[in-house]
């Protein structure tokens, strides 16, 4: 009995530490990363905190101990965060004539530098686009390639940088583009492009975003010592601070837009971050509206990371949303949203 008593005390101590860290992570979306850059890293592992709190809740419940109330309270207060991490049911409303489909995909330069062993990446991505038949296509980390067929899109806006090997972003559309532009980020090669697209009597502004990368490898083999850990946390903190400024520039640009908005692309941060909260604002997260499962959008080996998003105005319905997480032609996965205007 004495051993059990000491075990319970130790377990409850760790439970308290976990609860404090989880509550802190709940607050971080409301605090600027610039003020607390190191703590912002906690938003990346909040799902792990939620899972551990669930295990503690079950552990104490099976022993009929009141300690379960602590993790129970943590989970209750974080119920909105749970919905961002995992969706138990999906929405797939019937197709109608006025529906339109948007596809967003970070194509990683179509494997220009041969990160992947297969040599037909552009052809495979081109085939996917032809199969999915999106009306609007947004590509991040885009590089011009003759091996990718975009002839089904009569309208496009492509913004490129660089010398011999150019890179940038692209928006392709089956509907007419009447205006276009860019949000430039200081001290960064990342950016946002946008296009005003006319669908029948409606005009939609579509933003394609690519925020500062946190540069975490998709496959970690090397041993991480104390020095490397400090370097990783420093790099993450710097990236989060840059992302804060970038997110605020995007939000300010939203205020100049008079059309219904869709913003999609690579946020390079979790759904529990200040950056996510700033950009999403009053918009709807298409995954939360109609997705299912984890919504994994980044091929990180140890964690179902969702760092790519589609946000839509309240005047737009999300009738179906999917992430094709079995398509391994980039370090990201393509996302597809079928939408319609609210009648």
CB 280 within 8 Å of CB 289: no
- Delimit the domains of the chain by residue range: 2-85, 100-341
- In terms of pTM, does the model score above 0.75? yes
The structure tokens listed for 248 are 């605020």
Query: Which residue, 165, 118, 163, 175, is CA-closest to 141?
Result: 165
C-alpha dihedral, 294 to 100 to 179 to 333, nearest 10°: 30
Give the three-state DSSP class for 298.
Answer: strand
The structure tokens listed for 34 are 């610039």
CA distance 243 to 84: 20
CA distance 333 to 297: 5
CATH number of 100-341: 3.60.10.10
CA distance 19 to 71: 7
CA distance 162 to 42: 35
Q: Which pairs with CB-CB distance under 8 Å and at least 24 residues apart come from 194-199?
A: 194/253, 195/157, 195/171, 196/259, 197/136, 197/155, 197/173, 199/100, 199/135, 199/175
Query: Which residues contact residue 143 at a Cβ distance below 8 angstroms, ignoring those fewer than 6 apart?
Result: 107, 109, 110, 112, 165, 166, 167, 168
One pLDDT digit (tens) per residue for the chain, 343 residues? 445 688 888 999 999 999 999 999 999 999 998 887 778 888 888 999 999 999 999 999 998 899 999 999 999 999 888 888 889 888 999 999 999 999 999 999 999 999 999 999 999 999 999 999 999 999 999 999 999 999 999 999 999 998 889 999 999 999 999 999 999 999 899 999 999 999 988 999 999 999 999 766 555 445 555 566 667 777 888 899 999 999 999 999 999 999 999 999 999 999 999 999 999 999 999 999 999 999 999 998 888 899 999 999 999 999 999 999 999 999 999 999 999 999 7
The structure tokens listed for 330 are 């980039």
Strands laid side by side in the 167-173 sheet:
155-161, 167-173, 136-142, 100-106, 335-341, 316-323
CB 180 within 8 Å of CB 208: no
The burial of 96, by beta-carbon neighbours within 10 Å (0-12 exposed, 13-18 middle, 19 or more buried), is given as exposed
CB 253 within 8 Å of CB 205: no
Please write the tens of the pLDDT for every residue from 102-158.
999 999 999 999 999 999 999 999 999 999 999 999 999 999 999 999 999 999 999
pLDDT of residue 223: 56
Instruction: Return the DSSP state at 87.
Output: B
CA distance 333 to 326: 8
The conformational region for residue 175 under phi > 0 = left, psi -120 to 50 = alpha, else beta, is beta
pLDDT of residue 224: 56
CB burial of 122-158 (b: ≥16 within 10 Å; e: otherwise) equals bbbbbebbeeeebbbbbbbbbbebeebebeebebebb
CA distance 319 to 310: 13
pLDDT of residue 1: 44
């Amino acid at each position: 009995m004495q051993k059990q008593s000491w075990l319970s005390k130790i377990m409850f101590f760790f439970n308290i530490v976990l609860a404090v860290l989880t509550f802190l992570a709940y607050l971080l979306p409301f605090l600027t990363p610039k003020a607390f850059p190191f703590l912002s890293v906690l938003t990346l592992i909040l799902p792990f905190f939620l899972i551990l709190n669930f295990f503690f809740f079950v552990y104490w419940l099976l022993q009929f101990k009141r300690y379960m109330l602590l993790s129970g309270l943590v989970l209750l207060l974080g119920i909105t965060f749970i919905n961002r991490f995992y969706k138990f049911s999906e929405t797939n409303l019937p197709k109608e004539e006025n529906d339109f489909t948007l596809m967003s995909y970070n194509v990683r330069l179509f494997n220009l530098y041969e990160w992947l062993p297969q040599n037909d990446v552009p052809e495979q991505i081109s085939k996917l686009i032809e199969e999915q038949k999106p009306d609007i296509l947004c590509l991040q980390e885009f590089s011009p390639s003759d091996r990718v067929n975009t002839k089904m899109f009569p309208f496009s806006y492509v913004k490129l940088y660089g010398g011999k090997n150019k890179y940038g972003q692209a928006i392709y559309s089956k509907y007419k583009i009447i205006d276009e532009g860019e949000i430039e980020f200081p001290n960064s090669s990342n950016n946002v492009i946008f296009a005003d697209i006319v669908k029948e009597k409606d005009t939609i502004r579509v933003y394609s975003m690519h925020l500062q990368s946190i540069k975490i490898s998709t496959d970690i083999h090397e041993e991480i010592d104390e020095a490397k850990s400090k370097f990783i946390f420093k790099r993450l903190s710097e990236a989060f601070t840059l992302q804060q400024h970038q997110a605020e520039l995007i939000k300010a640009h939203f205020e100049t837009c008079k059309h219904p908005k869709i913003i999609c692309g690579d946020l390079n941060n979790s759904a529990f971050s200040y950056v996510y909260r700033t950009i999403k604002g009053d918009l709807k997260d298409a995954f939360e509206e109609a997705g299912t499962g984890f919504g994994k959008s980044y091929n990180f080996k140890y964690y179902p990371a969702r760092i790519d998003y589609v946000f839509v105005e309240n005047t737009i319905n999300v009738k179906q949303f999917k992430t094709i997480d079995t398509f391994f032609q980039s370090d990201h996965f393509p996302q597809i949203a079928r939408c319609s205007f609210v009648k």
